[in-house]
Amino acid sequence: MSRKEEIEHLLQESFTPMFLEVADESHMHSVPEGSESHFKVTLVSDQFDSKPLVQRHRAVNSSLAALLADGIHALALHTMTPEEWFAKGGVAPDSPPCLGGSKK
């Protein structure tokens, strides 16, 4: 199972999301091909109702703790309630271009 699939599986189990998208953005960074080290997660769940952003991110990080300790370098999180998701038109922002590593 790829890291992307592991992330999807763990988040499905933990949050029963209305919408979940996990994008491997490693190709946008200065890492060897196949690194699976940079991910963007868009997660929409009722479980985020009345929770501030920091609590949402802590909950996601907690459910992915083993993976984060084993080679994931970056995790961009977009955590929303269904109301927030619909208010944003059902889209998450694009990730900015990488400016680190050899691209500086």
Q: Is residue 95 in some structural domain? A: no
Global pTM? 0.82
pLDDT given at position 3: 86
Both tokens of residue 30?
């200065």
> Does residue 34 fall inside a structural domain?
yes
* Inside any domain, residue 98: no
48-69 confidence digits (pLDDT tens): 999 999 999 999 999 999 988 8
- For the chain, how many structural domains are there in total? 1
29 or 6, which is more confident: 6
Residue 15 lies in a domain: yes
Percentage of residues in the chain having pLDDT higher than 70: 79
Close Cβ partners of 4 (under 8 Å, ≥ 6 residues apart): 22, 23, 24, 36, 39
Domain range enclosing 61: 3-88
| 56 domain residue, yes or no | yes
The verdict on residue 62 lying in a domain is yes
Q: Which of 53, 39, 59, 62 is nearest to 81 (CA)?
A: 53
51 inside domain? yes
Buried b (16+ CB within 10 A) or exposed e, 23-56: ebbbeebebeeebbbbbbbbbbbeebeeeeeeeb
The pLDDT score that the predictor gives to residue 96 is 65
CATH number of the domain bearing residue 7: 3.30.300.90
What local confidence, expressed as pLDDT, does residue 27 receive?
56
